[in-house]
């Protein structure tokens, strides 16, 4: 009985090597996590500081997801026959175009999503912080109250726009002292919510005003 030689399977049917498969799975998982992180950064109902600082620009997130999808597609679904797999090529060209466009737009609009923070004081128990934060393209400076410890610190209140000579410290967890060069003034924070009893006045020489008087 003669042996029958079967033709070799076409290139498209060959299985992926274990290293390539593992790398593709890792890239796919990282891409999914990146997409989730930037989606949370755009939504952020918890006012998490880490999301504002690192995942606030949705265009950069879109670019990273497009790049990750491109690499994952190349690793897990390689093109072995350009004639019969034109769809894969078209998808990768589209992903590359999306990535380039997103990075360009994200770079141009990046300042609009700025959240650059400098922590100036920490409460004695370490659960609250005061941070001077430059927000947005105009770099509007705000003295913010953060509650919780990194990476779960949340923005809970604003004490207003500080002067450039401002110094701040915690007297206790619920009392802060702010000096803008014209004497130190104390501001009480709500023990539960961190909301201030007073906020900084529009003019640097003036003492803090009751928070209820602010619009």
Please tell me whether residues 55 and 133 are part of one structural domain.
Answer: no
Rounded-to-integer distance, Cα 51 and Cα 113, Å: 11
pLDDT at 81: 66
Please tell me whether residues 69 and 143 are part of one structural domain.
Answer: no
pLDDT at 150: 86
Q: Are 204 and 180 in contact (CB under 8 A)?
A: yes
Name the nearest CA neighbour of 174 among 153, 199, 151, 197: 197
How does pLDDT run across 15-56, given as a tens digit for each residue? 778 999 999 999 999 999 999 999 999 999 999 999 999 999
Q: Would residue 199 count as lying in a domain?
A: yes
pLDDT at 164: 86
User: In angstroms, what CA-CA distances link 100 with 85, 104, 140?
Assistant: 24, 6, 30
End residue of a domain, out of 83, 110, 137: 110
pLDDT at 215: 44
Please tell me whether residues 76 and 166 are part of one structural domain.
Answer: no
pLDDT at 12: 44
Can you tell me whether residue 209 is helix, strand or coil?
strand
Q: Would residue 20 count as lying in a domain?
A: yes
How does pLDDT run across 66-111, given as a tens digit for each residue? 999 999 999 998 877 666 677 888 999 999 999 999 999 999 999 9
Mean pLDDT for all residues in the chain:
90
Enclosing domain of residue 119: 114-213
Q: Would residue 124 count as lying in a domain?
A: yes
Average pLDDT over residues 1-26: 69
Q: What is the value of pTM for the model shown?
A: 0.81
Please tell me whether residues 155 and 208 are part of one structural domain.
Answer: yes
Q: How confident is the model at residue 2 (pLDDT cuts 50, 70, 90)?
A: low
Average pLDDT over residues 138-145: 89
Q: How confident is the model at residue 214 (pLDDT cuts 50, 70, 90)?
A: very low
User: In angstroms, what CA-CA distances link 205 with 121, 130, 144, 163?
Assistant: 22, 21, 20, 10
Query: For residue 6, what are its two tokens?
Result: 């079967």
Please tell me whether residues 208 and 119 are part of one structural domain.
Answer: yes
Rounded-to-integer distance, Cα 177 and Cα 142, Å: 16
Q: Are 84 and 192 in contact (CB under 8 A)?
A: no
Reply yes or no on whether the pLDDT at 191 is more than 70. Answer: yes
Domain count, the chain: 2
Per-residue b or e along 48-86, where b marks 16 or more CB atoms closer than 10 Å to that residue's CB: bbbbbeebbbbbbbbbbbbbbbbbbbbbebebeeeeeee
């Amino acid at each position: 009985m003669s042996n029958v030689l079967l033709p070799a399977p076409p290139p498209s049917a060959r299985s992926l090597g274990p290293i390539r498969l593992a790398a593709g799975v890792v890239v796919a998982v990282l891409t999914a996590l990146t997409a989730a992180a930037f989606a949370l950064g755009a939504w952020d109902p918890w006012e998490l500081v880490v999301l504002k600082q690192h995942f606030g620009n949705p265009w950069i997130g879109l670019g990273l997801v497009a790049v990750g999808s491109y690499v994952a597609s190349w690793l897990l679904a390689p093109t072995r026959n350009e004639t019969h797999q034109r769809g894969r090529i078209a998808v990768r060209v589209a992903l590359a175009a999306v990535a380039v466009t997103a990075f360009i737009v994200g770079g141009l609009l990046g300042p609009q999503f700025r959240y650059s923070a400098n922590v100036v004081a920490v409460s004695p128990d370490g659960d609250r912080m005061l941070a001077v934060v430059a927000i947005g393209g105009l770099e509007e400076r705000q003295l913010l109250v953060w509650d919780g410890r990194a990476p779960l610190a949340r923005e809970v209140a604003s004490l207003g726009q500080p002067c450039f000579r401002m110094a701040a410290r915690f007297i206790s967890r619920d009392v802060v002292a702010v000096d803008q060069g014209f004497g130190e003034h104390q501001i009480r924070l709500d023990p539960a919510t961190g909301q201030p009893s007073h906020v900084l006045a529009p003019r640097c020489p003036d003492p803090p005003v009751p928070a209820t008087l602010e619009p």
